[in-house]
């Protein structure tokens, strides 16, 4: 149904997440984040936006991603129908893939990086995403590497139904948040890439350099 990637760039402190699916509005369903806390992705056969917010809230009070997964396992009777992942501001990660999600279901996580997917078109999707990211040029912006992760996943099989929506969330304490969504398109990853190119150039991009940020909350010019 969906595949997603959460990553942290240790050189810049940037947090980023991307997701794509064969249904509508993946950004609204899957990605959550707070520049002071971390990021979460909640997807699967019975995706829970409540869990997405809960994971951020629990990281905010000092719980680590692994212990949060354990807490959710104890409380959520429907967890086997969900797939959840987390990335903390320190780069800690965790992921859980419920057994009742439609195959192919896969995931991978390590420090600063977690990717997961279900209803995948092949068993190579997650490994291709992982292999690309591990070998990617770290001089590229995190957003650009994450966009390429989506492309690599699509080329390896993507969602077995095809793709209809894609989204990106990029957070950095010195920059305005970047929240991009393609909620319905037959080629959502290409459209997300085009939108990213538009908002990171020209007058709009220059304007984003004047708005408040976490480290400069009263900026106006």
Cα–Cα–Cα angle for 36, 167, 149, nearest 5°? 90
Greatest alpha-carbon span in the chain? 51
pLDDT(1) > 90 = no
Closest among 110, 89, 117 to 8, alpha carbons compared: 89
Q: Average pLDDT in the 125-144 region?
A: 98
Indicate the CATH number for domain 2-208.
Answer: 3.60.20.10
Q: Are 99 and 127 in contact (CB under 8 A)?
A: no
Instruction: Dump pLDDT digits (tens) for 7-60.
Output: 999 999 999 999 999 999 999 999 999 999 999 999 999 999 999 999 999 999
Q: Are 156 and 194 in contact (CB under 8 A)?
A: no
HSE of 17 in the Cβ direction (CA atoms, 13 Å)? 33
pLDDT(141) > 90 = yes
Contacts of 173 (CB under 8 A, 6+ apart): 13, 35, 36, 213, 214, 215
Alpha helix positions (H), 38-157:
49-60, 65-75, 125-135, 142-155
Instruction: Dump pLDDT digits (tens) for 179-219.
Output: 999 999 999 999 999 999 999 999 999 999 999 999 999 99
Average pLDDT, the chain: 97
Every domain of the chain and the residues it spans: 2-208
Cα–Cα–Cα angle for 53, 157, 19, nearest 5°? 20
């Amino acid at each position: 149904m969906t595949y997603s990637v959460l990553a942290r760039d240790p050189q810049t402190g940037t947090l980023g997440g991307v997701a794509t699916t064969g249904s509508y509005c993946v950004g609204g369903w899957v990605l959550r984040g707070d520049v002071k806390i971390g990021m979460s992705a909640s997807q699967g056969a019975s995706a829970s936006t409540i869990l997405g917010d809960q994971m951020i809230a629990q990281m905010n009070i000092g719980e680590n991603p692994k212990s949060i997964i354990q807490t959710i396992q104890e409380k959520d009777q429907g967890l086997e129908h969900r797939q959840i992942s987390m990335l903390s501001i320190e780069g800690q990660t965790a992921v859980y893939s419920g057994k009742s999600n439609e195959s192919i279901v896969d995931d991978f996580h390590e420090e600063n990086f977690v990717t997961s997917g279900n209803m995948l078109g092949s068993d190579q999707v997650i490994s291709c995403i992982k292999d690309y990211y591990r070998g990617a040029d770290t001089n590229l912006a995190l957003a650009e590497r994450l966009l390429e992760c989506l492309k690599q996943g699509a080329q390896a099989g993507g969602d077995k139904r095809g793709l209809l929506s894609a989204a990106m969330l990029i957070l950095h304490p010195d920059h305005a948040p970047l929240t991009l969504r393609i909620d319905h398109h037959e080629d959502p990853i290409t459209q997300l890439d085009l939108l990213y190119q538009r908002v990171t150039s020209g007058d709009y991009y220059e304007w984003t350099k004047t708005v408040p940020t976490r480290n400069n909350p009263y900026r106006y010019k």
